Structure 1
Amino acid sequence: MKKSISALLGEGGRPAGSQREIKIIDTTLRDAHQSLWATRMRTRHITPVAGVFNEVGFQNVDLVAPIQFDVAVRYLKEDPWERVRLTHEKAPDTKFRALIRSKNIAAFDFLADDVIEKWVERLYANGFRVIGAFDGLNDVNNIAAGLRKAKSLGAETFGALSYCESPVHTDELYVQTAKEIIEKADVDTIMLKDAGGLLTPERVQTLIPAIKSVIGDRPLELHSHCLTALAPLVYLEAAELGCDMLHTSIAPLANGAGQPATQSIVRNLRELGYKVNVDDEKIAQISEHFSEIAKREGKPFGKPLEYDALHYKHQLPGGMLSNFQEQLATAGLEDRFDELLEEIARVRAELAWPIMITPFAQFVGTQAVMNVITGERYSNVPNEIKKYVLGYYGRLLGPVDPDVYDRIIANGSSDIAMERQPIEPMLPDLKRRYPEATEDELLLRAMFAGNQVDDMKEAIKNGTNDEVVPSSMLGLVKDLAAKRKTGRVYIKNGDLEINLSRGE
């Protein structure tokens, strides 16, 4: 490294005495259980300890992104808005934050602009005073309007730079994206969002100074995952380079696929001479609370992972990687796992290097599975892949491989227009269909098709909202293994809906 953490130490390894404050953004109630507990933290897990969070001294506490609404409605059968309200009531002095995913919130296809605007309004009305957004293609036009709306309501706002490793994701790209977010949305904070845990101490040595050089006096946040075991070192190096806020989770909901542990990061920062104004005793109380839940309910404890260089090749999120391995093994195809990882890397390069986060990790992974199982690359094309290459989800950062593009267009559904059409407003029709529904319920109905909201309400009414285990992609794998030629397949897996159809 050109610089290292050791630069913070004086003679004899003693702290150099930098008294700069590093602020902590807690992710225990949001990304931690998303990464380690399959987003299965329930409202009853949160409310007893929310008052303790109120006293820790975190800069913000991360509470919801779209997946928390998705899992609450479809699997836990809980009202996610009620969770939001109860948590705010228990911790009135805490700045909880909400993260918006592009223009699709919990779905994969974009939603109408009136839904996005109302979503921001209801986040604010339900107590959120810190609201941010990210886009998997770093297309600022997909997030700027929502951020401007949040700011107009009085919320603090943050814009995310979604990070990955590729030939097109350069320092220059992130500098230009940061400038564009500031110009188009005037955000209060910039967040470097490393969902794949791909950053290294060496990589941040150029990236963080480059971003800091163009964001003025706005704070820079860093959010990463421990998938390569490097995130704790990356955090300390980032602090040295001027990063202002770090995202951490309270163990046992830390490490593994999650964020670095608050306890160890805070301790190390203080040893290196930084001020971190959080209450260690309160953090220990929260840790004990979630440790008891994990023991009682058989939920995993986060543990440090070994370094895995292969991760940089496929860049799959940890949960998705383990799911693929299990599903292939169940189908008797475990010997093809390495082949699948190679195919994922190949597909990603052919599709102009999408970042392997929702929804693009699912798109690339699903296409790779179909390519491997059928033996005919791109002979079966999900609707989402065709929409992606046609720019339905935003501006691509590079050209799609021409031969692959032609095969996708030819074998994808002919029902998909070559240009995305404007999306008509959704709320007027929903109001006509559900005249007694609140605005919060209407938004859930805009996000979740069929009877899912009704099922949630019925389960709450009857007290039967026990956890439901989601179906896996195994059915898709088995079907494709058995049939080389597929007419039409529809499958739903968690927040992923796949429509397969032969070209017509």
Structure 2
Amino acid sequence: MSLSVAGTQAPASARRGSASIMDIGIVDTTFRDGSQSLWASGIHTGIMEAVAEDMDRAGFDVIEVPVIGVYFKKFVRDLKEDPWEMARMLARKMPNTVKSCMAGAIIHPFEPPPPQSIIELFYSRVAEIGALNRAQMTCNTYGQIKGTFSWTIPLFKRLGLQIALALSYTISPRHSDEYYAQKTREILPFKPDVIYLKDQGGLLTLDRVRTLLPVILKHAGGVPVELHSHCTTGLADLVYMEALKLGVRTLHTGVPPLANGSAQPSVFSVTRNAKLLGFGSRIRESILRPASERLSAIALKERLPIGAPLEYDYGQYVHQVPGGVISNLRHQLAELRILHRLDEVLEESVQVRKDFGYPIMITPHSQFVVTQSAINVATGERYKHVIDELILFALGAYGEDSGYTWMDQNLKDRLLATGRAKELRARKRREVSLKDVRDTLGGPGVTDEELLLRYIMKGEDEIALMRAAGPPKRYFSSTTPLLTLIKELDKHRQVRHVHIQRGGDSLTLRNQSPS
């Protein structure tokens, strides 16, 4: 069967909208933070593939993608899918949009830092594939400015990645306007392409954003400033509109069903409200709406949560646990059959955070605080058992930003006097060469991708289970119905042509085979 295809398209200006100096930029978080916040990072390769091409054409400035070590481990261990194939798919399906992810000197936030050679190899490979074009790095959580930035930022720049440095927002006695002004000034020597205020807990209010954003904008030295928030308290949409009035021009949003809830505001509501304030956008809603509907249909079929607007929750200002951590905490407590004690754990986290000097409730500190809180609740005694990470915290392993100098002195003295603290203090980190790692994990015949997977998964067993599970499940994409139609036409020779029209676009398929 041979087919001729004739099509007409609406003019480009009608499809995209003309550029305007008042256009806002949109960073899409659907595949990474949206999934992390609402699906415990459980977005499968096939789900992303079903909408990736449409996302690439939808007018986003940046699309977040799950292509760092912690997500690779999730794909192998829980989703039983090859993360390298996932990364290649995203690079192939979204060639025109900047792809971004959190990045830095770690593979997994809850494990010891890997050798620098592993970090260099990992990001070199992800960048070479084309799955990562922008590195997002938090700069005020564990001493990054005085520590790892000296070599990670030059590495990412050599790889051609854009640099987006995040100032993580929190509420505490030590996180004042002057604190954020100072941190903004300290990151300018690294020459970031973007600075963004990262409100991982959804804690910003209208009053607070009116005082804080002008401080950051004033000290940013002309570097563009973005805003990233969560809908955990129900205020993010309002805060975003206020940020536009104050001079921010790029906002982080998600596509439903991976928007709202504990994730980012919906791209549809943000662009609609921005329009009423006189701002345009490059978002092509005619393309994005069907993609959102496809994602929602998949979510319903797979019984995955659908993000919905939340009521105002003052409790968020008390415990400050971010949305993604709450999602994972629910999942973990349910597995332990103690989900009914969630409120107790969140209440306990308030005291634990205060005792440890008000660390910013972001990965990894939020997980440390929540884990210790869960242990305290489960054992019925505060600090009867203390996780190694918080002993390291007391030792200053996470830098001054962590808050260890503000710790309760009695608790610090108690932890540092333990035998475990002495063991951890005595550990010396030895820089391991890439050859040493390769020799340990399979020798010179192992590919770089396989070597990195084995390093991330601590061996081959879970990788073998992932491969035994077979290829990932696939879902309909925007092109699948057309391919199905062409195949069906081949079965029905009496059908001579099909004409399809949607809005200003039309397509005609003609069957030129003998009838």
Larger Rg over CA atoms? 2
Cα contact 1:228–1:308 (8 A) shared by 2: yes
CA shift for structure 1 position 173: 1.8
2:405 corresponds to 1:403: no
Cα contact 1:196–1:315 (8 A) shared by 2: yes
Between Structure 1 and Structure 2, how many residues are aligned?
A: 447
**Shift in alpha-carbon separation, 1:122–1:333, aligned structure 2, 3 A:** closer
CA–CA separation in structure 2 for the residues paired with 1:84 and 1:363: 29
CA–CA separation in structure 2 for the residues paired with 1:203 and 1:29: 29
Q: Which amino acid aligns with 1:223?
A: H
CA–CA separation in structure 2 for the residues paired with 1:331 and 1:54: 40
2:458 corresponds to 1:449: yes
Among 99, 123, 147, the residue aligned to 1:96: 99
CA shift for structure 1 position 96: 1.0
Among 160, 168, 192, the residue aligned to 1:162: 168
Could you say what secondary structure the match of 1:54 adopts? helix
CA–CA separation in structure 1 for the residues paired with 2:257 and 2:334: 29
2:138 corresponds to 1:129: no
Could you say what secondary structure the match of 2:65 adopts? strand
CA shift for structure 1 position 460: 2.3
Cα contact 2:194–2:223 (8 A) shared by 1: yes
Could you say what secondary structure the match of 1:24 adopts? strand
- Cα shift readout 1:319-347 (whole Å, capped 9, x = no counterpart): 54466578778978788655433321111
Cα contact 1:19–1:273 (8 A) shared by 2: no
Name structure 2 gaps, 5 residues minimum. Answer: 1-19, 474-515
- Cα shift readout 1:292-349 (whole Å, capped 9, x = no counterpart): 1012111111011111111111111235446657877897878865543332111101
CA–CA separation in structure 2 for the residues paired with 1:297 and 1:50: 19
Aligned residue number for residue 44 of structure 1? 46
CA shift for structure 1 position 189: 0.6
Aligned residue number for residue 31 of structure 1? 33
2:224 corresponds to 1:219: yes
Q: Which amino acid aligns with 2:134?
A: V
CA shift for structure 1 position 66: 4.0
2:117 corresponds to 1:117: no
Supply the RMSD in Å over aligned alpha carbons: 2.6
CA–CA separation in structure 2 for the residues paired with 1:334 and 1:49: 33
Aligned residue number for residue 439 of structure 1? 448
Could you say what secondary structure the match of 1:305 adopts? coil
Could you say what secondary structure the match of 2:221 adopts? coil
Aligned residue number for residue 359 of structure 1? 364
CA shift for structure 1 position 92: 1.4
Cα contact 2:227–2:252 (8 A) shared by 1: yes
CA shift for structure 1 position 448: 2.4
Q: Which amino acid aligns with 1:133?
A: M
Cα contact 1:73–1:79 (8 A) shared by 2: yes
Could you say what secondary structure the match of 1:83 adopts? helix
Aligned residue number for residue 145 of structure 1? 151
Q: Which amino acid aligns with 1:222?
A: L
Q: Which amino acid aligns with 2:231?
A: C
Q: Which amino acid aligns with 2:424?
A: A
- Cα shift readout 1:16-36 (whole Å, capped 9, x = no counterpart): xx9622100111111111111
Q: Which amino acid aligns with 1:227?
A: T
CA–CA separation in structure 1 for the residues paired with 2:115 and 2:78: 25
**Shift in alpha-carbon separation, 1:378–1:464, aligned structure 2, 3 A:** same
2:371 corresponds to 1:369: no
Matches within 5 A, 1:142-291: 142-183=148-189, 185-291=190-296
Could you say what secondary structure the match of 1:116 adopts? helix
Aligned residue number for residue 10 of structure 1? none
- Cα shift readout 1:391-425 (whole Å, capped 9, x = no counterpart): 22222344211101022223462563336633422
**Shift in alpha-carbon separation, 1:189–1:333, aligned structure 2, 3 A:** closer
Q: Which amino acid aligns with 1:43?
A: T
Q: Which amino acid aligns with 1:20?
A: M
2:319 corresponds to 1:314: yes
Question: More relative contact order in 1 or in 2 (CA 8 Å, sep 6+)?
Answer: 2
- Cα shift readout 1:102-148 (whole Å, capped 9, x = no counterpart): 53545432222222222332232121222222253363223442122
Could you say what secondary structure the match of 1:223 adopts? strand
Q: Which amino acid aligns with 2:39?
A: W
Among 81, 86, 89, the residue aligned to 1:86: 89
**Shift in alpha-carbon separation, 1:248–1:324, aligned structure 2, 3 A:** closer
- Cα shift readout 1:451-492 (whole Å, capped 9, x = no counterpart): 4xx4334532551778xxxxxxxxxxxxxxxxxxxxxxxxxx
**Shift in alpha-carbon separation, 1:444–1:191, aligned structure 2, 3 A:** farther
Q: Which amino acid aligns with 2:321?
A: L
Could you say what secondary structure the match of 2:135 adopts? strand
**Shift in alpha-carbon separation, 1:121–1:458, aligned structure 2, 3 A:** same
How much identity, in percent, do the aligned residues show? 39
CA shift for structure 1 position 370: 2.6
Q: Which amino acid aligns with 2:363?
A: T
Aligned residue number for residue 345 of structure 1? 350
CA–CA separation in structure 2 for the residues paired with 1:40 and 1:330: 16
Q: Which amino acid aligns with 2:176?
A: T
Could you say what secondary structure the match of 1:191 adopts? strand
**Shift in alpha-carbon separation, 1:392–1:60, aligned structure 2, 3 A:** same
CA shift for structure 1 position 284: 0.5
TM-score (ref. length: structure 2): 0.80
Cα contact 1:77–1:457 (8 A) shared by 2: no
CA–CA separation in structure 1 for the residues paired with 2:58 and 2:247: 24
Could you say what secondary structure the match of 1:213 adopts? helix
**Shift in alpha-carbon separation, 1:309–1:462, aligned structure 2, 3 A:** closer
Cα contact 1:380–1:411 (8 A) shared by 2: no
Shifted more, 442-451 versus 69-78: the winner is 442-451
2:466 corresponds to 1:459: yes
**Shift in alpha-carbon separation, 1:234–1:253, aligned structure 2, 3 A:** same
Aligned residue number for residue 479 of structure 2? none
Q: Which amino acid aligns with 1:256?
A: G
**Shift in alpha-carbon separation, 1:204–1:426, aligned structure 2, 3 A:** farther
CA–CA separation in structure 1 for the residues paired with 2:35 and 2:332: 22
TM-score (ref. length: structure 1): 0.82
Shifted more, 137-146 versus 188-197: the winner is 137-146
CA–CA separation in structure 1 for the residues paired with 2:203 and 2:158: 34
Shifted more, 349-358 versus 390-399: the winner is 390-399
CA–CA separation in structure 1 for the residues paired with 2:340 and 2:90: 46
